[in-house]
Amino acid sequence: MLEPHRGLGAVAVLPPRPAGTEEGFLDLRRQFLSPLAGGFAHFLRPPGPVLEYPASMVVNIAIIGSGPAGYTAALYASRAGLEPLLFEGLQPGGQLTITTEVENYPGFPDGVQGPELMDLFKKQCARFGTRFVEFQPIAKVDTSSRPFTLTTTSGDEHKAHSVILAMGARAKLLGLEKETELMGYGVSACATCDGALFKDREVVVVGGGDTAMEEATFLTRFCPKVTIVHRRDYFRASPIMLERARANAAIEWKEFRSVVDIQHDDKKQVTGVVLEDPRDGSKEDYSCQGMFVAIGHQPNTEFLGEEFDRDEVGYLKIEGGTRTSVEGVFAAGDVHDPAYRQAVTAAGYGCAAALEAQRWLEAEDLA
């Protein structure tokens, strides 16, 4: 089917993929989501139509990532008539699709389910003409010549005058089977996001760095007892953060302990954790109603070349708003932001990146 599309000549909307290939895609999706998704199997929907356009065509803005940052960038770019092409990756909707209630996104006084919120984001940019490429993660961005070339994992090439990197970050997890199953039911990787849901409950925080100290201290606003579980007695946390946590009477300490299992009731609510002493392998049951994993995040920047300046963890370095070290490439959201890591800040950066890309395209006389 061919549909006229302003500025693009013609855009071919292909029919859905044949069942065999769809299953392949779903397998891929399951592999990606299974360690994360918990109860969100309903999000494993078959891919929709795939957009295609003449290979010689150069899009104004390619956006990599479909979390709050990517969709917001797409909303602004499409409303500016720039007809962006958005690569959703293997987690359409981003990190919020693996959580339940989101209570701190403005505009939803009664809260909203994470997956529902991200569906609304997508609908809003679709309304203004954003084109989506589903289930084809970008494997390479070649910036050696302009226009830039983006290559998907299946080898398709796309040309773009400018690029917005919005690949987000992933929380590092302990790797326990039940950890992902209970995510949103008492297991969390974000105290800022979920702390208020644990009012008057006793929780454990796993980790020994600044994030663990900060999350534990924050959680004492709601929880009468917060236990920091750390596998050593040496902490990576900065002295000031450690001291602040040590001075907090609501924080207890379990050093030389690792969480090896999570206990829960038949409603999947967490009731305790099993701790192991790595020195002698002894185990103990430890009662709690929640577990926060605070062992760090990993930005999804591994596939980018060395021309993109990053910090030691892999977060993109940006200047003057959202500019990366490569002219014409901008970054938005958790992919460059280890400090806030919130949906609303990611969306804000997405807006900024789209506006900066738009101004850059105008200055370069490209759009």
Ligand X SMILES: Cc1cc2nc3c(=O)[nH]c(=O)nc-3n(C[C@H](O)[C@H](O)[C@H](O)COP(=O)(O)OP(=O)(O)OC[C@H]3O[C@@H](n4cnc5c(N)ncnc54)[C@H](O)[C@@H]3O)c2cc1C
The footprint of ligand X on residues 58-87 (CB under 6 A) is 64-70, 87
**125 an active-site residue?**
no
Q: Is 227 in the site for ligand X (CB under 6 A)?
A: no
**194 an active-site residue?**
yes
Q: Is 190 in the site for ligand X (CB under 6 A)?
A: yes
Structure tokens at 1: 């089917």
Q: Which one of 125, 193, 223, 288 is the catalytic residue?
A: 193
Please answer whether residues 86 and 63 qualify as being in contact, where contact means their C-beta atoms are separated by less than 8 angstroms.
Answer: yes
Q: Is 167 in the site for ligand X (CB under 6 A)?
A: yes
Q: Is 90 in the site for ligand X (CB under 6 A)?
A: yes
- Per rule CB under 6 A, count of chain residues that contact ligand X: 41
DSSP 121-144: HHHHHHHTT-EEEES--EEEEE-S
At closest approach, how far in Å is the CB of 278 from ligand X? Answer: 27
Q: Give me the residue whose beta carbon is nearest to ligand X.
A: 168
Rounded CA gap, 69 and 148, in Å? Answer: 21
C-beta of 84 vs 92, nearer to ligand X: 92
**351 an active-site residue?**
no
Q: Is 91 in the site for ligand X (CB under 6 A)?
A: yes
Closest by CA position to 293, among listed 200, 221, 193, 222? 193
DSSP 259-302: EEEEEE-TT--EEEEEEE-TTT--EEEEE-SEEEE-S-EEES-T
At closest approach, how far in Å is the CB of 134 from ligand X? Answer: 10
Q: Which one of 125, 194, 288, 337 is the catalytic residue?
A: 194
Q: Is 168 in the site for ligand X (CB under 6 A)?
A: yes
Closest by CA position to 192, among listed 91, 105, 64, 133? 105
Phi and psi angles of residue 292, each rounded to the nearest 5 degrees, phi first: -105, 125
Rounded CA gap, 246 and 244, in Å? Answer: 5
Peptide bond into 147 cis (omega under 30): yes
C-beta of 206 vs 242, nearer to ligand X: 206
Residues with a catalytic annotation lie at 190, 193-194
Task: Tell me which residues touch ligand X (CB under 6 A).
Answer: 64-70, 87-92, 94-96, 98-99, 102, 104-105, 137-138, 166-168, 171, 183, 189-190, 193, 300, 303, 333-335, 341-344, 346
